[in-house]
Amino acid sequence: MSISTPLSKNPDVSWRSIEGQAVLVHNRRGEIQILNSVGTYAWENFERGTDTVAAEIAREYGIDVNQARADLDDFVRELCEAGALVEGHAQVAR
Amino acid sequence: MLQSVTDLRPDLAHLAAAPPLAGSERVAVEIGGVGVAVEGVPPVLAAALRARYGPFLAEAPGAHTVRVFRGAPKYLDMAPDRFIRIEEERHGEAAVLLSHDFAALRAAAGNRLLVSDPDDIKRTERAVENYLRWVVADLVLERDGLVLHSAGLARGGAAYVFFGPSGAGKSTVTELTPEAAVLSDDLVLLQRREGRWEALTTPFLGTYPQLAKDTRRFPLVGIYRLRQAPEVAVRPLSLAVAVGMVLACCPFVRDPGRRSAALVPRVEELCRAVPVRELAFRRDASFWNAILDSSRSLLTGHN
């Protein structure tokens, strides 16, 4: 799965942001993921495009935009491997 | 060598067509205000269930009733690692629970528990217990509560709940606190009543003797995630981490029907109302000093 493939939140994952951290519940596997503040920002906003999100993260944290993009790509791959993100444009209710 | 798995996953027709057992007795239990009645029970099984659930027996009609039937000789295969498999499925609005020797259906048309070997009383008792665990986990959500894999201990009129995965030390902290009233060393019901969270016991079997459990309600003053360590310490957790850790120890989080839609906000309410901390402990009772010190710190504003 390449990062350029359209991705959306897996409808089998329930999630809730709590004081800036997202708690993800993989309903079919019964697994829980907790994202830090940067990961939560990416999770909440990645449908706007990883370039946009990476630029915002770079600006917010004062880091090189290429590094932010590389880190974001790694994070998206992790979410895909964990099943939290799936291919497709489906809009998922929170 | 890989082992093929040949599960019998019944459809609704199978679940609806099962023959009843030769029995007409009824055994009802009440747990945290939730009443569940098991009907169509043969006398020998009824006697066994009454002995098993003694302090929890109820006379009033249950809010939820389930009838027992004879099922197929086997449902799910045993896993290669020999762990018990219990799996939940959704069939439209109906929910099905499957294990090796029972299948259960919860549906508007009626609730059914199909047992593979009704003459094996111990196996059938376990099937009833698993059904009760399943249905109570949902019913208490409708009554401002949740069930948590945890040990519940009451000291000084207040409840302390200790949770974590299998092997974290729930039974150990129970053994290390002989002076406490024990709610459970396995599953505790946490329920909000009149704006206050309380802890109470459940009839589900852990290693602690059923008849020795304290059946009173206690105000819940602290929830501790267990971690065995050389040094004793109490560490605060962020709200999100607390919610995630508590969720991971709720039974039946794995649910294609998205039980989490009701459970996650309930857990957040709990974690906002009751301090949730990590407890690093070793195999002695010194952890109680750390708990009491941290509680005093909370009251004085020093964390």
**What ipTM was assigned to the predicted interfaces of this complex?**
0.84
Is A28 within 8 Å of B256 when comparing Cβ atoms? yes
CB within 8 Å of B94: residues ≥ 6 apart = B12, B105, B106, B107, B108
How far away is chain B from the Cα of A32, in angstroms, using its nearest Cα?
6
| Beta-ladder partners of B196 | B193
How many contacts, defined by CB atoms under 8 Å, are there between A and B? 55
Buried b (16+ CB within 10 A) or exposed e, B18-38: beebebebebbbbbbebbbbb
How far away is chain A from the Cα of B23, in angstroms, using its nearest Cα?
37
Contacts of B272 in chain A (CB under 8 A): none
Per-residue pLDDT of chain B (303 residues; tens, 9 = 90+): 333 368 899 999 999 999 999 899 999 999 988 999 999 999 999 999 999 999 899 987 778 999 999 999 999 988 777 778 888 988 888 999 999 999 999 999 999 999 999 999 999 999 999 999 999 999 999 999 999 999 999 999 999 999 998 899 999 999 999 999 999 999 999 999 999 999 999 998 778 888 788 889 999 999 999 999 999 999 999 999 999 999 999 998 778 777 888 999 999 999 999 999 999 999 999 999 999 988 776 555 544
CB atoms within 10 A of CB B60: 9
Q: What is the pLDDT of residue B130?
A: 94
Q: What is the pLDDT of residue B302?
A: 44
The closest alpha carbon to B200, from B57, B29, B28, B32, belongs to B32
Q: What is the pLDDT of residue B301?
A: 54
Q: Which residue of A has its CA nearest to B256?
A: A28
Pairing of strands A21-26, A13-18: antiparallel
Q: pTM for the complete prediction?
A: 0.89
User: Residue B245 half-sphere exposure, CB side, CA atoms within 13 Å?
Assistant: 23
Q: What tens digit of pLDDT does each residue of A27-82 get?
A: 888 889 999 999 999 999 988 888 899 999 999 889 999 999 999 999 999 999 99
Best mutation target among B258, B263, B269 (most A Cβ atoms within 10 Å) is B258
Q: What is the pLDDT of residue A89?
A: 67
Q: What is the pLDDT of residue B299?
A: 57
Interface residues of B toward A, Cβ cutoff 8 Å, are: 238-241, 243-245, 247-248, 253-261, 264-265, 268
Contacts of B260 in chain A (CB under 8 A): 14, 25, 27
CB atoms within 10 A of CB B52: 17
Distance of CA B81 to the CA centre of its chain: 23
Q: What 8-state DSSP symbol labels residue B20?
A: B
Contacts of B255 in chain A (CB under 8 A): 27, 30
Best mutation target among A25, A40, A41, A44 (most B Cβ atoms within 10 Å) is A25
How far away is chain A from the Cα of B240, in angstroms, using its nearest Cα?
5
Euclidean distance between CA atoms B111 and B40, whole angstroms: 12
Euclidean distance between CA atoms B132 and B35, whole angstroms: 10
Is A25 within 8 Å of B239 when comparing Cβ atoms? no
Q: What is the pLDDT of residue B83?
A: 79
